[in-house]
Amino acid sequence: MDKSAYPHNPRQKRRLLAIAIALLAAFSLLATSCGNDDDAPEATEAPQATEEPTAPEPTEPMDDPRGDALGDGSLGIVEVEEGDAIQIRSLQAITGDVAFFGLPIDRAAYLAVDDYGPVNGFDVDLGTSLDDLCGNDGGQAAAQIVVADEDVIGVLGTSCSGAAVAAAPLITDAGMVMISGGNTSPALTSDLAGTAGPNHVRGYYRTAHNDLYQGAAMAKFVFGELGFSTAAAIHDGDPYTQGLAQAFADSFEAEGGTITGFSAVNKDDTDMVPVLTEIAAGAPQALFFPIFQPAGDFIADQAPGVSGLEDTVLLAADGVLNDNYLALPQTTGMYFSGPDQRFGQNVNQSTGRSADELTAAYEERHGEVPSSAFWAHGYDAATILLDAIAAASWVEDGSLMIDRQGVRDYLYALRDYRGIIGTLNCDDFGDCGSSKITVVQNIGGEENVQDSLNNVVFSYEP
Amino acid sequence: MIPRTLRRQTPRTGVDWFLTVLRVAALTVVALGLLAFIAQEIDRDNPFARWANPDATGLTGEQFWGLIVSGVSQGAMYGLIALGYSMVYGVLGFINFAHGEVFMVGAMTGMIASNKLADAGMWESNFVGSLVLIVVVSVIVCSLTAVIMERVAYRPLRGQPRLIPLITSIGVSFFIQNASIVLLGPAAKAYPDVPDWVKTKHTFLQIEGSKILVILVAAASMACLWYVVERTKSGRAMRAVAEDAEIAELMGIDVNRTIVKVFALGGAMAGMAGILWGILFRSVIHSTGFLPGIKAFSAAVVGGIGHLGGAMTGGLTIGVAESVGPLVILEPLGVSGVSQLRDAVAFAVLIGVLLLRPSGIFGERLPAEDRT
């Protein structure tokens, strides 16, 4: 080491010592002033929308403006100033092949916010819709945009379970809630027997059904109604498709049937002959492929041409239950499982609007009928979120204070809520949806799509 | 060519030994899988058949034939696309990665034209005539696309290091994909329904009409291309430019015009492949060209890049391998999820061929200065 770097002159030493003491003093002052800012904000300072990391200080009961608002403040309080709007977001699959599924959920959310009106006198702002791209990456990217805005209370979405797997941890870690009208994978909630799914997080809820119900419905239909004892399943690796295919396989075996093949394709595969040949080796009587388009198109098209599958009955699920797929000639005669779409005169208790009124309003606003039945799940998801915000908020000095924990408390305690989809009850894992599942058979032809959707051949309710 | 005596004297390095071990291992895996499959076919309870996969059931002869036919028809399309890669590489020495998008443009053009014809009622009443019409339209559109691509994106870069047009071609690829999204939307588009004779299996060799059509049209296209390149004046000019552009120019050949013709011919083949894709799968999306394009490029390399017969052979090799390989080699070895591994098998074939024969099946061994 170079000793010349050290001062030998006593004057130099004193000067260095003085500089060190001055720096120390400056740092001390700075630290003190920062501490003061945190602990005691100036009384005249304009209130900001902030999250409190800890429970608020107890106040005099006589002056408590909270009233009976839910929550203990443990996840923070969001303040919405007078004239501002309550921020929530919609995160759905609004582009690409799955837009037929996500767009109606997204549009129904806007419809619900308009129907609901102000919450405790404050308008609600959904902002600009975000796209989950029906995948992990899209969900993560959109969730990062959402959590960057600390004023957001809740997110309506995602459409696809694959996107929720990435988005839910980010959104709920930020104290927000997430209510999906489209996710059905058991991994996101529970196995319905008290065990949390591998991707379950607190603060996540859904109005869509758990696919364990849908898998059971299809298995009972194939085994009991069609009288088949052998079946096979194909998925594409997505949590939704894999979870549903597995739920079907497990239920079918529980019924007494035999699963002769369980395989997977890549989402962008076009030549399905190899996977269908693999499945054909087991000579199944039924083939269940709960996947999306366009892969679903190719399986329906190519299966009858594969030796061993000529007479196999083809079955799919709500991922392809749309006008476009039902109009394809190769899907005529196929069976589809999905949520019970016979909403009829069901009325949403928060807005008082019936399913028929809402369908007409949707058509008037967008010039088309909803392309998927999940619009109703999206509508109910939005109204229970707004109810939850109403139950966990209070007005204080002209501002609306929203307790994030209170929003969660309301949703976990939700019972006998009358929605468009039926009666909603939330369990401890966030499953709130009605579990009525139907199986419909495609009559065939573009002109018969609506009749096909109403052509219910089997109903299931646990 | 290095004389045999000299080659023997070259000391083997660690890399050489490693590659030898890799070659032996790859061949062993393939041989074991094939032997287990053959054992399954002879007797399903054969202990060797169930050695690695106790659940193995084997395939019936009809199922195996179905895989072969599927692989050949898919491979014929890869081969048609690969011709474009190979020809451009032959004359310009760079890989035009946007060629897969020209194929997608062909499939999209066919989709638009066929739906218009279906609306007019001609698709049902005169299917063959409609098919010829959409082929002509698609070939023209794809040739124009390829020519414009050359004029706008590649000609200004002529004479630059090969990496520069290569990177430009990746940019062109993204541009065309995004242009398709803007013009036609991001959702998959369907071709109109085809007549029953196209969909059903025919007693002749138990092949669907669409696959017979694909194989015949691909063979006819290949024959036409061979005739143009080998028997016409323009083809001779192309070969001369591929051999040495400077000397070809000194001999009075218009190099620019010849290169334009090469792009137009490659585009025409891609357009043809696009229509065949539409007939076979009846669905097209903006990303349709990406994976087949990459596999066609692999096919061109497997066959020996710059060699027309090699491109088609490479296409068929990759098509059949990815169709048959997962069930015939991987499943008997107990590998799970084999149907999701078809892309892996396709690229494993590329690696395998390069390991055993670095210049491809028909490729010539290049002198060291050309390899660099």
> Domain holding A130: CATH number?
3.40.50.2300
State the total domains in chain A.
Answer: 2
Q: Do B337 and A265 touch (CB under 8 A)?
A: no
How many Cβ atoms from other residues are within 10 Å of residue A19's Cβ? 10
Q: Do B60 and A307 touch (CB under 8 A)?
A: yes
Can you read off the two tokens belonging to residue A238?
A: 């997505």
ipTM surpassing 0.85, yes or no? no
Looking at the fold, whether A265 and A200 belong to one and the same domain comes out as no
Output the average pLDDT for chain B. Answer: 87
Q: Identify the bridge partners of residue A232 per DSSP, sorted by sequence position.
A: A261, A287
Q: Do A274 and B67 touch (CB under 8 A)?
A: yes
Residue B335 lies in a domain: no
Which residue of A lies nearest to B340 if distances are taken between CA atoms?
A265
Cβ atoms of residues A349 and A380 within 8 Å: no
Residue A31 lies in a domain: no
Separation CA B30–CA B32 (nearest Å): 6
Cβ atoms of residues A215 and A437 within 8 Å: no
Shortest Cα distance, chain B CAs vs residue A277, angstroms: 6
One-letter amino acid identity for A308? G
Residue B17 lies in a domain: no
Q: What is residue A46's predicted lDDT score, i.e. its pLDDT?
A: 35
Residue A359: name the closest of A101, A159, A108, A129 by CA. Answer: A108
Residue A244: name the closest of A191, A186, A165 by CA. Answer: A186
**What dihedral do alpha carbons A412, A418, A419, A424 form, nearest 10°?**
40
Residue A51 lies in a domain: no
Range(s) of the domain holding residue B130: 74-324
Q: Name residues whose C-beta falls within 8 Å of residue A347's C-beta, 6 or more positions apart in sequence.
A: A353, A354, A355, A418, A420
Q: Do A305 and B282 touch (CB under 8 A)?
A: no
Q: Do B282 and A297 touch (CB under 8 A)?
A: yes
What value does the CA radius of gyration of chain A take, rounded to a whole number of Å?
28
Shortest Cα distance, chain A CAs vs residue B325, angstroms: 9
pLDDT band at B201 (very low <50, low <70, confident <90, very high): confident
Residue from B339, B342, B343, B345 whose CB has the most chain A CBs within 10 Å, to mutate: B339
Query: Which positions 231-260 of A are in contact with B (Cβ < 8 Å)?
Result: 237
Residue A279: name the closest of A250, A256, A304, A257 by CA. Answer: A304
How many Cβ atoms from other residues are within 10 Å of residue A372's Cβ? 26
Shortest Cα distance, chain B CAs vs residue A134, angstroms: 13
Can you read off the two tokens belonging to residue A295?
A: 């892969």
Q: Identify the bridge partners of residue A184 per DSSP, sorted by sequence position.
A: none
Whether the CB of A230 is below 8 Å from some CB of chain B: the reply is: no
Residue-wise over A130-153: b if at least 16 C-beta within 10 A, else e? bbbbbbbebbbbbbeebbeeebbb
Query: Which positions 165-224 of A are in contact with B (Cβ < 8 Å)?
Result: none
Looking at the fold, whether A375 and A361 belong to one and the same domain comes out as yes
Whether the CB of A274 is below 8 Å from some CB of chain B: the reply is: yes
Cβ atoms of residues B189 and B108 within 8 Å: yes
Q: Which of B62, B187, B339 is opposite residue A278, by nearest beta carbon?
A: B339
- Kindly give the pairing relationship between strand A204-206 and strand A230-235: unpaired
Which residues of B sit within 8 Å Cβ distance of A? 57-60, 62-63, 66-67, 70, 74, 186-188, 190, 193, 199-201, 208, 281-283, 285, 287, 291, 322-324, 326-327, 331, 337-340, 342-343
Residue A57 lies in a domain: no
Separation CA B178–CA B287 (nearest Å): 9
Q: Do A278 and B188 touch (CB under 8 A)?
A: no
Range(s) of the domain holding residue A248: 212-339+440-460
Q: Do A294 and B340 touch (CB under 8 A)?
A: no
Residue A58 lies in a domain: no
Looking at the fold, whether A202 and A349 belong to one and the same domain comes out as yes
Looking at the fold, whether A448 and A396 belong to one and the same domain comes out as no
Q: Which of B62, B281, B323 is opposite residue A298, by nearest beta carbon?
A: B281
State the total domains in chain B.
Answer: 1
B231, exposed or middle or buried, with CB in 10 Å at 0-12, 13-18, 19+?
exposed
Whether the CB of A95 is below 8 Å from some CB of chain B: the reply is: yes
Looking at the fold, whether A199 and A119 belong to one and the same domain comes out as yes
* Positive/negative CA dihedral, A331, A335, A336, A342: positive
Looking at the fold, whether A281 and A140 belong to one and the same domain comes out as no
Provide the number of CB pairs (under 8 Å) joining chain A to chain B: 88
One-letter amino acid identity for A124? V
The helix (H) or strand (E) run that includes residue A140 is helix A136-147
Residue B79 lies in a domain: yes
Q: Read off φ and ψ for residue B180, nearest 5 degrees.
A: -65, -40
First to last CA, chain A: 80
Looking at the fold, whether A318 and A454 belong to one and the same domain comes out as yes
Looking at the fold, whether A218 and A324 belong to one and the same domain comes out as yes
Q: Do A297 and B199 touch (CB under 8 A)?
A: no
Q: Do B66 and A96 touch (CB under 8 A)?
A: no
Q: What is the pTM of this model?
A: 0.77
Looking at the fold, whether A322 and A449 belong to one and the same domain comes out as yes
- Average pLDDT, stretch B156-165? 88
Which residue of B lies nearest to A307 if distances are taken between CA atoms?
B63
Q: What is residue A305's predicted lDDT score, i.e. its pLDDT?
A: 86
CATH number, domain at B145?
Answer: 1.10.3470
Residue from A307, A323, A328 whose CB has the most chain B CBs within 10 Å, to mutate: A307
Please give the biggest Cα pair distance in chain A. 101
Separation CA A373–CA B4 (nearest Å): 73
Residue A2 lies in a domain: no
Separation CA B322–CA B345 (nearest Å): 5
Residue B372 lies in a domain: no
Q: Do A264 and B323 touch (CB under 8 A)?
A: no
**What dihedral do alpha carbons B336, B338, B344, B347 form, nearest 10°?**
130
Q: Do A97 and B285 touch (CB under 8 A)?
A: yes
Looking at the fold, whether A232 and A200 belong to one and the same domain comes out as no
Q: Do B338 and A297 touch (CB under 8 A)?
A: no
Shortest Cα distance, chain A CAs vs residue B80, angstroms: 17
Residue A10 lies in a domain: no
Looking at the fold, whether A392 and A412 belong to one and the same domain comes out as yes
Shortest Cα distance, chain B CAs vs residue A319, angstroms: 15
Spell out the SS3 assignment of chain B: CCCHHHHHHCCCCHHHHHHHHHHHHHHHHHHHHHHHHHHHHHCCCCCCCCCCCCCCCCCCHHHHHHHHHHHHHHHHHHHHHHHHHHHHHHHHCCCCCCHHHHHHHHHHHHHHHHHHHHHHCHHHHCHHHHHHHHHHHHHHHHHHHHHHHHHHHHHHHCCCCCHHHHHHHHHHHHHHHHHHHHHHCCCCEECCCCCHHHHCEECCCCEEHHHHHHHHHHHHHHHHHHHHHHHCHHHHHHHHHHHCHHHHHHCCCCHHHHHHHHHHHHHHHHHHHHHHHHHHHCEECCCCCHHHHHHHHHHHHHHCCCCHHHHHHHHHHHHHHHHHHHHHHHHHHCCCCHHHHHHHHHHHHHHHHHHHCCCCCCCCCCCHHHHC
Residue B22 lies in a domain: no
Residue B91 lies in a domain: yes
Whether the CB of A278 is below 8 Å from some CB of chain B: the reply is: yes
Cβ atoms of residues B300 and B86 within 8 Å: yes
Separation CA B80–CA B265 (nearest Å): 11
Q: Do B199 and A95 touch (CB under 8 A)?
A: no
Residue A221 lies in a domain: yes
Residue B261 lies in a domain: yes
- Kindly give the pairing relationship between strand A204-206 and strand A456-460: unpaired
Can you read off the two tokens belonging to residue B170?
A: 């990746």
Separation CA A277–CA B66 (nearest Å): 8
Looking at the fold, whether A253 and A375 belong to one and the same domain comes out as no
Give pLDDT tens digits along chain A (462 positions).
Answer: 333 444 455 555 555 445 555 554 554 444 434 433 333 333 333 333 334 334 444 444 456 788 889 999 999 999 999 999 999 999 999 987 788 889 999 999 999 999 999 999 999 999 999 999 988 999 999 999 999 999 999 999 999 999 999 999 999 999 999 999 999 999 999 998 899 999 999 999 999 999 999 999 999 999 999 999 999 999 998 888 999 999 999 999 999 999 999 999 988 888 899 999 999 988 999 999 999 888 999 999 999 988 889 999 999 998 888 887 888 888 999 999 999 888 888 999 999 999 999 999 999 999 988 888 899 999 999 999 999 999 999 999 999 999 999 999 999 999 999 999 999 999 999 999 988 899 999 998 777 888 888 899 999 988
Residue B122 lies in a domain: yes
Residue from A134, A277, A292 whose CB has the most chain B CBs within 10 Å, to mutate: A277
Q: What is residue B369's predicted lDDT score, i.e. its pLDDT?
A: 47
A446, exposed or middle or buried, with CB in 10 Å at 0-12, 13-18, 19+?
exposed
Q: What is residue A29's predicted lDDT score, i.e. its pLDDT?
A: 44
